[in-house]
Amino acid sequence: MLANLWDVIVVGGGLAGSVISSRLLQNNTSLKILLIEAGEDVSTNTIIPYADNQALLVPSPWSWNDTTVPQTGLDNRVIPNPAGKGLGGGTIINSCGWIRGNENDFDLWASTVGDSKWSYNGQLPYFRKVEHTWNASANPEEHGFVGPMWFASVSSTGRNYPLRNTIKSAWAEAGLLPPADGDANDGTPLGLGELNENRKNGLRELASSAYPLAGVTVLTNTLVGKILISQVAGSLFATGVKLANGTEFYAKKQVILSAGAYRTPQLLKLSGVGPTAELNEFGIKQLVNAPAVGTGLADHMLLTLYWKLRPEVAAQGVALGSTNPLFAEPQFGDGVPADWVATESLPTDQLIAAITKDEGKVPSSSHPLLATKRSFMETLIIYAGASAADPVIQYNGSHIISTMVGLLPTSRGTVKLASTNPADHPIIDPQYFTTEVDKLNFRHGIQRVAQLFLGTPTGNATIEGETPADGFAPITLSSDDDYLNARARHSSENSYHPMGTAAMGKVVDNNLNVIGVKNLKIADTSVFPVVITAHLQQATYAMAEQAAVIIAAACKN
Ligand SMILES: Cc1cc2nc3c(=O)[nH]c(=O)nc-3n(C[C@H](O)[C@H](O)[C@H](O)COP(=O)(O)OP(=O)(O)OC[C@H]3O[C@@H](n4cnc5c(N)ncnc54)[C@H](O)[C@@H]3O)c2cc1C
């Protein structure tokens, strides 16, 4: 029978929970650590590691398979919203994009909470600590060479896609060049960078395997129902957790909540830490009035467009689905069929006009969207155009796709309780596409892709035109704002990067302590107080590495 008294209990064996458990034990091998994960241990699963199987992972048994409420900004559509469920969390189903983001995001984080350890330079030692780069000549100030997380670039895996130089040339003709040092993964992503993915020898890297958990007691298939919080000598202390089945485990030193940006706020509220009205509505005794729990939800909206290759180009077998034998070579199974990550900002005059519309006054030059060069839009050109839905396109090498990720949304949403049952899906409302800045961002993004494919000599020689969603005319260089907004409303989805629902400065302090409850910390993407303008893995790994140092120090008391 499992002991019920532990030094540290970690709730959620996802990305952050795995890193923290592993590092805490490494730091102090006498710590008794219990890691509790709702999903299964997938370390021997034979589907999950392979890039070719990505489409089988969402929806799947390894996802919570959440959805949003109907999104008013997206023609009232309900958007699928997967999050990883299993040991490794998001890293068991994610797309493995290894993208650091913009140093200005982290500096804004630090200035927002008044603590330089969360700045880019404050996080840099942890970015390095995580990494095992493929590039022996990478700048050692920026990159790590011996960390647990291996990553590779497209070219380092030998995937020589036929369109690599075509797309690079078209971007150059559209005015987008690689950064001066060629490295877009060093905090300065604006420009054209090569895609990197955290796969080792072509296989997905799970946080729970790359960070060894031997010596940590791991409970899988076990749902935590609430954090146990007790009043001792006038203060509230987290003393342990109660499982959904009623079993209780106690922690002498720390309880760490790492259940992800949807379920961390859910568990906080079920434990009595949350907004008064919502807790009252469900008859939950409020222990801490924490109005910000479950607010501030930010996510990166994503829009995919389909581009028909000119017949003479398609006949050369440049896209997956064609009969080109090249794509049967094994290395082409090692990652996403794309070469480049294009990261762009917005024209300042248009951005000022959009902010003015959203905020009702002309922004000053110190506005966080204007003070530094932010990354607004990421565009990937993927050499595999197929859609069984809208539009109907066969997987036959006739199309490629552009995928746009809105990196810096200003729309903010909520995660609310649906019931007091921890097994129920929370109510997720990201409020996609409800601000003028977000609309500008996608209009501009679509215009940039149109320019790439229809307005440059190389793009024009490659692409015949856009194959639009049902009921729409194809995109042109002169498509107007109403049309562009309608296209984004009709087809946008998300890229599964929720953050900010238990933000630092509002719900946790700068050392990740839940404000008002001792011995309770949060470490997952919930705590991001500003939008990170990248796929979130790298930022989450670095945060979790720094969190482990903070928690290890707290465990000495
Ligand atoms: C489909 C998909 C694709 C993505 N692609 C990329 C990408 O290409 N690049 C990138 O950088 N990022 C990507 N991401 C995002 C990235 O994986 C996440 O940002 C990251 O995993 C978040 O880490 P986390 O520790 O905050 O939460 P998670 O990794 O989600 O971990 C939370 C864990 O808590 C567990 N849990 C929740 N509630 C309970 C409970 N009550 N009891 C017990 N356990 C519980 C969950 O099962 C989960 O294992 C993707 C995400 C998804 C879903």
271 pLDDT band (50/70/90 cuts)? very high
144 and 37 housed in the same domain: no
Q: Is residue 19 part of a domain?
A: yes
314 and 180 housed in the same domain: yes
372 and 456 housed in the same domain: yes
Q: Is residue 21 scored above 80 in pLDDT?
A: yes
At 90-115, the pLDDT tens digits run 999 999 999 999 999 999 999 999 99
Q: Whose CA is nearest to atom 19 of ligand 1?
A: 536
Q: What is residue 252's predicted lDDT score, i.e. its pLDDT?
A: 97
538 Cα nearest atom in ligand 1: 11
Give the least confident one: 33-42, 67-76, 386-395, 424-433. 386-395
Nearest to 254 by CA among 30, 527, 24: 24
265 and 313 housed in the same domain: no
Catalytic residue selected from 132, 300, 399, 497: 497
Element (H, E) at 294: none
Distance CA 87, CA 258 (A): 12
Catalytic residue selected from 143, 300, 444, 535: 535
Structure tokens at 255: 């309880």
Distance CA 181, CA 120 (A): 18
87 Cα nearest atom in ligand 1: 49
At 186-229, the pLDDT tens digits run 999 999 999 999 999 999 999 999 999 999 999 999 999 999 99
Q: Is residue 75 part of a domain?
A: no
User: Does the interface ipTM go beyond 0.90?
Assistant: yes
143 and 14 housed in the same domain: no
Contact 11, 225 (CB under 8 A): no
Compute, in angstroms, the gap from residue 333 CA to the centroid of ligand 1. 23
Q: Which residues pair with 33 in a beta bridge?
A: 8
Q: Which residues of 111-120 are buried (b: 16+ CB within 10 A; e: fewer)?
A: eebebeebbb
At 503-531, the pLDDT tens digits run 999 999 999 999 999 999 999 999 999 99
320 and 171 housed in the same domain: yes
126 and 261 housed in the same domain: no
Give the phi and the psi of residue 329 in degrees, each rounded to 5.
-65, 140
Residues framing ligand 1 (Cβ under 6 A): 11-17, 36-39, 58, 82-86, 89-91, 93-97, 99, 223-224, 258-260, 263, 267, 422, 496-497, 524-525, 535-537, 540
Work out the widest C-alpha separation in the chain, in whole angstroms: 78
372 and 263 housed in the same domain: no
Q: Is residue 73 scored above 80 in pLDDT?
A: yes
17 Cα nearest atom in ligand 1: 25
> Which of helix, strand or coil describes residue 343?
strand
557 pLDDT band (50/70/90 cuts)? confident
Q: Is residue 402 scored above 90 in pLDDT?
A: yes
CATH of the domain at 548: 3.50.50.60
169 pLDDT band (50/70/90 cuts)? very high
104 and 218 housed in the same domain: no
Distance CA 503, CA 522 (A): 10
Among residues 491, 525, 541, the one where a domain terminates is 491
Per-residue 3-state assignment (H helix, E strand, C coil) for 39-100: CECCCCCCCCCEHHHHHHCCCCCCECCEEECCEHHHCCECCEECCECECCHHHHCCCCECCC
112 and 244 housed in the same domain: no
Let me know if 497 is a catalytic residue. Answer: yes
Q: What is residue 55's predicted lDDT score, i.e. its pLDDT?
A: 87
Compute, in angstroms, the gap from residue 537 CA to the centroid of ligand 1. 9
476 and 516 housed in the same domain: no
Distance CA 293, CA 514 (A): 10
87 pLDDT band (50/70/90 cuts)? very high
- Please give the average per-residue pLDDT across 165-186, as a whole number: 96
**Beta pairing class for 414-416 and 399-406:** unpaired
Compute, in angstroms, the gap from residue 91 CA to the centroid of ligand 1. 6
Structure tokens at 504: 């630092």
Q: Is residue 351 part of a domain?
A: yes
91 Cα nearest atom in ligand 1: 17
Structure tokens at 132: 């095992």
Compute, in angstroms, the gap from residue 67 CA to the centroid of ligand 1. 15
Q: Is residue 544 part of a domain?
A: yes
Distance CA 16, CA 20 (A): 6
Q: What is residue 75's predicted lDDT score, i.e. its pLDDT?
A: 98
Q: Is residue 73 part of a domain?
A: no
Q: What is residue 349's predicted lDDT score, i.e. its pLDDT?
A: 98
CATH of the domain at 365: 3.30.560.10
524 Cα nearest atom in ligand 1: 26
The answer for residues whose C-beta is within 8 angstroms of residue 489's C-beta and 6 or more apart is 73, 74, 75, 433
- Please give the average per-residue pLDDT across 323-338, as a whole number: 95
Nearest to 226 by CA among 213, 211, 239, 207: 239
- Using most ligand atoms within 8 A of CB, pick from 11, 15, 213, 223 the residue to mutate for ligand 1: 15
Q: Is residue 389 scored above 80 in pLDDT?
A: no
Q: Is the peptide bond before 291 cis (omega within 30 degrees of 0)?
A: no
Q: Whose CA is nearest to atom 26 of ligand 1?
A: 524
Is position 224 annotated in a ligand binding site? yes
Contact 498, 261 (CB under 8 A): yes
Q: Whose CA is nearest to atom 9 of ligand 1?
A: 97
Domains in the chain, number: 2
Q: What is the DSSP letter of 501?
A: T
Average pLDDT, the chain: 97
At 526-553, the pLDDT tens digits run 999 999 999 999 999 999 999 999 999 9
Can you give the residue range of the structural domain that contains 267?
Answer: 5-48+206-293+499-555
Nearest to 254 by CA among 545, 33, 507, 36: 33
Q: Is residue 166 part of a domain?
A: yes
Let me know if 399 is a catalytic residue. Answer: no
29 pLDDT band (50/70/90 cuts)? very high
At 331-380, the pLDDT tens digits run 999 899 999 999 999 999 999 999 999 999 999 999 999 999 999 999 99
Q: Whose CA is nearest to atom 41 of ligand 1?
A: 224
Among residues 491, 517, 532, the one where a domain terminates is 491
Compute, in angstroms, the gap from residue 265 CA to the centroid of ligand 1. 14
Q: What is the DSSP letter of 186?
A: S
Q: What is residue 455's predicted lDDT score, i.e. its pLDDT?
A: 98
Q: Is residue 219 part of a domain?
A: yes
Q: Is 408 exposed, middle or buried (0-12, 13-18, 19+ CB in 10 A)?
A: buried
Measured CA distances, 134 to 15, 72, 147, 438 (Å): 21, 43, 11, 35
Q: Is residue 35 part of a domain?
A: yes
> Which of helix, strand or coil describes residue 266?
helix
159 and 21 housed in the same domain: no
1 pLDDT band (50/70/90 cuts)? confident
Q: Is residue 76 scored above 80 in pLDDT?
A: yes
Compute, in angstroms, the gap from residue 424 CA to the centroid of ligand 1. 17
Nearest to 431 by CA among 449, 406, 448: 406
